[in-house]
Structure 1
Amino acid sequence: MKATVAVIGAGPAGLVVSRWLLAQGLEPSIFEQCPTLGGQWTALPGRSGVWPGMHTNTSRILTAFSDLPHDGDLVFPSGHDILDYLHRYAALFDLTSRLRRDTLVEAVSRCGREWLVRHGDNEETFDKVVVAAGRFHTPALPDVPGLDSFGGDAGAISSYNYGGPSSYRGKRVLVAGCAVSALEIAAELAARGAERVVVTQRRQRYVLPKFVAGVPSDHRMFTRYGALANETLAPSEVDRQLKEIVVESAGSPEQYGAPRPAESLFAAGVTLSQNYLPAVAEGAISVRPWLRSVTGTAVTFDDGGVEEFDGIVFGTGFRLSLPFLDGDVRAILNLEAGGFDTDRYTFHPDLPGLAFMGMWDQSGGYFVPLELQARWIAYTWGGVVEAASEADQRAAIAACHADGPRKTRMNLAAVTFARAAGVEPRLERWPDLQRALLFGPLAPSCFRLEGPDALPDAPATFAREAAAFGAITDNELTARELSYWSSVKDS
């Protein structure tokens, strides 16, 4: 009898894990509280942080799964394009027949060797559960004295509730934060009729345009080489190399009139945004220190400056919230203390039959690592790859607990899951693709070159995707690439 799996969430994570569970002979049922699939990409008010007019900050090649390319030639698809893509993906693998729409999962608990899922007045048992409910639904708002008393007629909201620029035309708007949502919203407001736009930040990040010299920046920043360098080189050298890529591509924020960031890119952070720094340079966006307090419509900043605003938008990130998990599960995961104690964001040896999808925070697009995590889960439960030993899992969990919550990078997550799933391509097997595998985009096709579910056309597909924007058109390393690669090989 086939094992049954409750998949909680029908966004990209829930859909891709269901596709791969089916391939391994398991029987997923997909629970979705919304009336349609898509997760964040539904753009439904109150259920999604995607606003009208939003486009991805990751390129179409890295915002796709390995079985289905995007239609059209848009480099950065719109939110509507991504939703359409997810519907096509669900249709391709007949996932819609397994979708339970308008079904809110209220509790997940252990029931002997099975798992009990409660929704409404119904309770069902499943052999396994995958939690794919998303981690970007509960905004993390800062504690600012007086914020509750803010009197601007546009209100104080999270970027999750931002509905577009129309309600801010002719208004003075403060945007708080330095993540991508904050910078993209600030740039949109400045271009679409706000009277004044001010960004307040705790620290200045480096800012990398989405597109540089005709190549999407995620093709340059999130490479296999970068993951290997992270494992072999001193952190200071990895920091130097990444900063070199960013600054040579976009300059440093102080050159545009923004504050000077920390010398270390790791200390400062980096955000992808095409139009933010040019808007600062033109005076369309002003940058202030962090806000200290709010009184009525007046905001006092840490430098003592005071300014009046009609609206405030907080792009200050999200906290992980999984309220439907039973208390003992939450305790094992250390959720109440703000942790997420798991082996590579996925399994816990004390919770057999439970897995998680997409519960990490990162720079870069999620589609590629999500598919690899889905394959790891499906291959583990399907017996294709051996499950990690309890000792190895507990060591990974102890390291996760010691590190605490932290941001990673798309390429680090992708390579981690690819290795666990047994699909990381070996450089020596692909001499004609070596440069693309090291310094090209981490396209989903490169993880279908070998291992379980390898595709015969994957080499040609990957070569084409690596050369799509003229970045990797031959196999000869540039002088910089050769220097970088030598530093890793010699370590």
Structure 2
Amino acid sequence: MARDVAVIGAGPGGLVAARWLAAQGFEPTIFERSPVLGGQWAGIAGRSGVWPTMHTNTSSVLTAFSDLDHDGPAVHPSNRDVLTYLERYARTFALTERIRFDCPVHRVGRDGTGWRIDHAGGTDHVERVVVASGRFQSPTRPTIPGLASFTGRAGVTSTFDYRGADPFRGARVLVVGGAISALEIASELAVLGAERVVVTQRRQRYVLPKFAAGVPSDHRMFTRYGVLAGETLPPAEVDAQVLRIVLEAGGSPDQYGAPTPDPSPSVAGVTLCQQYLPLVAEGRIAVRPWPTSVSGRSVRFSDGRSEDFDAILFGTGFEATLPFLSEDVREVLGADGEHLDVDRYTFHPDLPGLAFAGMWDQSGGYFVPLELQARWIAYAWGGAVRAPDVGEQRAAVATCRARRGTPQKTRMNAAALGFARAAGVEPHLERWPDLRRALLFGPLAPSQFRLEGPDALPGAAERFARDASTFGCITTGDFTDLERRHLEAIGAPAPA
């Protein structure tokens, strides 16, 4: 039992956790309730919000782990490409034989100094547990008076259950929400035969095209500099810099005929979606304020107008559900539908041997921070880095509790850098003068986190230089004047 770890979930988080735990000498067993691996990317109805025509809104460089590239040409892989990638990853690191398929976990509870796992195949006693069961499985639906009375022929459903446009051909569809699934599905319906598509949102988000001027937008948005700026600059200045990127790439929604968003991107939010705003501009998608009531087929909006619909699709977020955790564990964690009181989304000082992977809400791709979090877990448990200080953990837990009631979403680059620092793999800029510009303003490619620290790779510098310059966004050349001004603002001037 001494080195046994139960990993709950065979999606990206569970697979990458098991890979790095095994590298540290642990014996992970992965418990997966489905008959196949992949988690959301398996596309199983009722267990996945991935629809058949879905492509990633993050680039292939940032939708990969550090030791396996995608083998296809797509810049934004399809869901099938991602599943194939995960299957190949599992084969490469001999993970498939560690998975117990069709084996849902019923209960996880403390068992002396270890943990007891009750599952469909019986009971296991292990030293440690990684919960990687996923954050996006239980869609939420806001309360709208009269919603239960809706009589449209295609009914009320969630984007989580959307499996294609066929049921909505010739229909008048109201899509509720402003995040990626709502906007992508609204766009698909508008071009695949819906009679009318209306999107309603509590607030207008900025919408960033997935690809702009030949460069994936996530390569511009999720950088190390963005984290440093957030740590050192006034929030208004950070907002101004983010807004500049968004407006240069895609303009403002009001230019397309959508409502005017809040001047602050951090207040309005940003969604990556390629086709939505052009379809609004063409009149193929209409935008309405938030609904105030439903009666039969009729939906009334806050501007006083009403309209009849055949279907309502909700893309309004998810509740975090961990029903298998014992009641005492849930109490320690303060677990509810939105919160877990843990240190950096991972550990709790009063629950040694328990860790969480991927259980946070963010904008941007998950693969890079998932791998860094997995490495931190494996390194901390295996002794490759200093275990987290209990006092620091208690302070982090107190901060989590104090933030309840405030927006919980984080950004991919902040999560990734936080985990990289904890795992001891954030590269030191002074050690890589030829890569300094790419390390600051280039994409958070996973290869940069193999430059130094545990598991550094000899060829990582060349690979990162390639990843950073793939789309001509970042090279190893001189800093631009704008980049120099940005660096001076955060107290890190570029070399002459």
Q: Calculate the TM-score normalised by the size of structure 1.
A: 0.99
SS of the residue 1:70 aligns to: coil
Q: Name the counterpart of 2:151.
A: 151
Residue deviations 1:56-114 (CA, integer Å, cap 9, x gap) = 00000000000100012100000000000000000000000000000010100001101
Residue deviations 1:102-152 (CA, integer Å, cap 9, x gap) = 001010000110100001361111100000000100111101111122111
Instruction: For 1:474 and 1:120, locate their aligned partners in 2 and report how far apart those are by CA, in whole Å.
Output: 53
Q: Is it true that 1:96 corresponds to 2:96 in the alignment?
A: yes
What is the one-letter code of the residue matched to 1:168?
F
Instruction: For 2:165 and 2:315, locate their aligned partners in 1 and report how far apart those are by CA, in whole Å.
Output: 15
Q: Is it true that 1:183 corresponds to 2:183 in the alignment?
A: yes
Q: Name the counterpart of 2:174.
A: 174
Q: Name the counterpart of 1:458.
A: 460
Instruction: For 1:133 and 1:358, locate their aligned partners in 2 and report how far apart those are by CA, in whole Å.
Output: 8
Percent sequence identity is 64
Give the ranges of 4+ consecutive aligned residues of structure 1 lying more than 3 Å apart after TM superposition: none
Instruction: For 2:263 and 2:339, locate their aligned partners in 1 and report how far apart those are by CA, in whole Å.
Output: 29
Residue deviations 1:149-187 (CA, integer Å, cap 9, x gap) = 211111111111011111111110000000111110111
1:476 deviation in Å? 1.0
Q: Name the counterpart of 2:319.
A: 319
What is the one-letter code of the residue matched to 2:447?
S
Structure 1: 5+ residue stretches without partners: none
Residue deviations 1:18-69 (CA, integer Å, cap 9, x gap) = 0000000000000000000000000010010000100000000000000100
- Where do 1:110-259 residues align within 5 Å? 110-120=110-120, 122-259=122-259
Q: Name the counterpart of 2:438.
A: 436
SS of the residue 2:66 aligns to: coil
Residue deviations 1:417-472 (CA, integer Å, cap 9, x gap) = 00000000010000000110000010000000000000001000000011111111
Instruction: For 2:329 and 2:237, locate their aligned partners in 1 and report how far apart those are by CA, in whole Å.
Output: 40
Q: Name the counterpart of 1:292.
A: 292
Residue deviations 1:386-437 (CA, integer Å, cap 9, x gap) = 1111110011111111112510100000000000000000100000001100
Structure 2: 5+ residue stretches without partners: none
Instruction: For 1:327 and 1:170, locate their aligned partners in 2 and report how far apart those are by CA, in whole Å.
Output: 48
Q: Name the counterpart of 2:481.
A: 479
Instruction: For 2:483 and 2:64, locate their aligned partners in 1 and report how far apart those are by CA, in whole Å.
Output: 27
Q: Name the counterpart of 1:305.
A: 305
SS of the residue 1:441 aligns to: coil
Conserved 8 A contact 2:6-2:30: yes
Q: Calculate the TM-score normalised by the size of structure 2.
A: 0.98
What is the one-letter code of the residue matched to 2:161?
N
Conserved 8 A contact 1:177-1:199: yes
Conserved 8 A contact 2:320-2:337: no
- Where do 1:263-278 residues align within 5 Å? 263-278=263-278
Q: Number of residues paired by the alignment? A: 491
Note closer, same or farther for the CA distance 1:72–1:490 as it changes in structure 2 (3 Å cut): closer
SS of the residue 1:110 aligns to: strand
What is the one-letter code of the residue matched to 1:289?
P
Q: Name the counterpart of 1:365.
A: 365
Conserved 8 A contact 1:2-1:27: no
Conserved 8 A contact 2:165-2:192: yes
What is the one-letter code of the residue matched to 1:74?
A
1:206 deviation in Å? 0.5
